[in-house]
Amino acid sequence: MTVGQPEETTAEESVAIAREAADVGAEVACRYFREGIGNDFKRDRMDPVSKADQETQDRIVEILEERDPAAEIVGEENDAAKTVPESGPAWLVDPIDGTNNFVRDNRLWGVSLARTVDGEPMAAATTLPAIGDTYAAGAGRVERNGIECSASDRTDPSSLIAAPIFGLKQRDRDDYDEVTGYIHHELGDLRRLGSGQTSLAMVACGELDAAISTVHMTAWDTVAGAHMVRAGGGRVTELDGDRWRHDSDSLIATNGEVHDELLAGLRDRLERR
C-alpha cells in the first residue's frame, strides 16, 4: 500500500457495512409499508416506484458515503450511477426489491446491497424486514440471521423447487413462459416470489434449489444474491454455462448439484420453441 492511501476495506468489514446500511434502509421503508402511500410508474403500471424507494436509497447512500467514501454508488433510484464500474470499489443498492409486493402490502420485499471490487462481488446483505430474515455473505460464507447455512444437496429433478426471476417487460414474456413451462414439466414445483434478490438468497440457504432468468437482469436486482449463492456452495452461470457476471444476458443459479442437468434441459426446451 502506498503511503497516504486508505487501507482496502476487507470482505468482513464490507459485510458489516452492508448489514448496517440494509438495516437503516429497512427502518425507512417500514415507515411507509402498509401506510397507503401513493406511487408513480416507470415504464408501465407493473413498474411502480414509491416515495419509500427513493427515501430508502437516499438514507442508504448517506451511510455508505460515511462508511466507505472511496466507493462509487450504483443504485436503482434517483441520480445514482446505473453501471457497475470495472475498476475500483462500488456499492450496488436496491432500496426495495419487490416493489410490486411492497405497494400491495405483501410482506415479501427486501432491502439489498452488494459491494464489488473491479466488477466482482465481495460482500452482500439482503434484509426482509416485514418477515424478519436477514441474509449476508462475505468470502465463502453465507448466513441467515447470523447462522451459517448452505445451498441444498438435492439431486432428483422431481424434488427441486425453482423460482423464475424475471421483470415484467412485454418483450420477455415468451422467455418467462418457456422457463415456467420447463419448471412445471421437468422439476418439482415453482415459486414466483416477485423479488429476485429474495429468490437468490433462498437458493443460497437451501430454501429453494434454483433461480432462473433467461434474460438480462439489472445488477442491483442480482449481484447480491448471486454472490450469496456462490458463498453457499451453489453455482451461478449464464445459460451457455459461462461464469455469470453483472452484465450477463441470463442467470442460472442452482445448488450446484443439478446445475449441468438443469442447463441442458433449459437449452433443449428453448431450442425447440
pLDDT digits (tens, 9 = 90+) for 154-184: 999 999 999 999 987 888 899 999 999 999 9
Confidence of residue 9 (pLDDT cuts 50, 70, 90): confident
Residues 137, 168: one domain?
no
Tell me the average pLDDT across 261-268. Answer: 96
How far is it, in rounded angstroms, from Cα 80 to Cα 60?
12
CB atoms within 10 A of CB 178: 17
% of the chain beyond a pLDDT of 90: 81
CB-neighbour burial class of residue 141 (10 A; exposed 0-12, middle 13-18, buried 19+): middle
As a whole number, the mean pLDDT across the chain is 91
> 114 with 224: CB under 8 angstroms?
yes
Residues 29, 100: one domain?
yes
Domain that holds residue 245: 157-272
> 9 with 117: CB under 8 angstroms?
no
Residues 88, 182: one domain?
no
**pLDDT at residue number 74:** 96
Phi, psi angle pair for 264, to nearest 5°? -65, -40
- For residue 162, the cross-strand partners are 190, 210
Confidence of residue 39 (pLDDT cuts 50, 70, 90): low
208 vs 42: which has the higher pLDDT: 208
Looking at 109, 131, 149, which one is the last position of a domain?
Answer: 149
Residues 144, 168: one domain?
no
Could you give the number of structural domains in the chain? Answer: 2
> 232 with 150: CB under 8 angstroms?
yes
Confidence of residue 47 (pLDDT cuts 50, 70, 90): very low
**pLDDT at residue number 1:** 39
**pLDDT at residue number 85:** 95
Residues 110, 163: one domain?
no
Helices 173-186, 259-272: inter-axial angle, 10-degree rounding:
120
How far is it, in rounded angstroms, from Cα 16 to Cα 263?
35
Looking at 132, 149, 166, which one is the last position of a domain?
Answer: 149
**pLDDT at residue number 41:** 45
**pLDDT at residue number 37:** 65
How far is it, in rounded angstroms, from Cα 71 to Cα 19?
16
Q: Is residue 51 part of a domain?
A: yes
Looking at 80, 114, 149, which one is the last position of a domain?
Answer: 149
Burial 27-59 (b: 16+ CB within 10 A, else e): ebbeebbeeeeeeeeeeeeeebbbebbbbbbbb
> 20 with 63: CB under 8 angstroms?
yes
pLDDT, tens digit, for every residue of 18-29? 999 999 999 999
